[in-house]
Amino acid sequence: MSNWITLPTPLGPISAWQALPPGSPRAGLVVIQEIFGANAHIRHVAEQYAAEGYAVLAPSFFDLIEPDLQLDYDAAGVARGKALVDQLGVDRAVAIVEAAAAALAPYGKVGTVGYCWGGTIAMLAAQRLGLPSASYYGARNVPFLDTPFKAPAIFHFGELDASIPAAAVAAHREKQPGLPVYVYPADHAFNREVGMHHHAPSAALALERTLAFLKEHL
């Protein structure tokens, strides 16, 4: 069961892709997009977690700026996506996550999983909102690592990812030694099933670890 719904937020209504499991949900999960919008890949991720028993919402964060925007994975799409997330800002992004979590609250505890830019927003959700969160290759994490965490988090990185050097990964371990950090023989966006950087073994192992994390904390 999956479809677009209207998600009310303090900033105005936006769209969100809702994916529900066939039985009673075990918990709620907010899936946080990359810089390309709530596109087919992100909707697939939402449905993947729904198949594992979670009630999932994947908000369309860019709706506050330009509704129904989904970008291509080319240079123009990357440039536009980076500009949009800068325009949106982390505070508004976290407010959207909070609204999605409130909508999922009837299903029990709520966590988040985020990718790329969404990986950083997922980390902020653990810090600011107390939501257990899985952060995939969040290139913008480091400036926020000194902030205390209100909930546990797990981090996934690719060792071939030029946008997140080894020193940045090491900073996670140094500044937050109690949180698990995993590095895979893969590039940035290794979980995305479309594109040249997809690495199926790494994606499968990261998913296994994320599901174990969610089971423990949700």
Show the tokens assigned to 133: 């969160």
Any idea which residues carry the catalytic annotation?
116, 161, 188
Kindly report each contact of residues 122-130 with a partner whose C-beta sits within 8 Å and lies 24 or more positions away, as own/partner. 122/32, 122/153, 123/153, 123/155, 124/90, 124/93, 124/94, 125/30, 125/32, 125/94, 125/97, 125/98, 125/101, 125/151, 126/150, 126/151, 126/152, 126/153, 128/94, 129/94, 129/97, 129/98, 129/101
The three-state secondary structure class of 20 is coil
Is residue 137 within 8 Å of 158, Cβ to Cβ?
yes
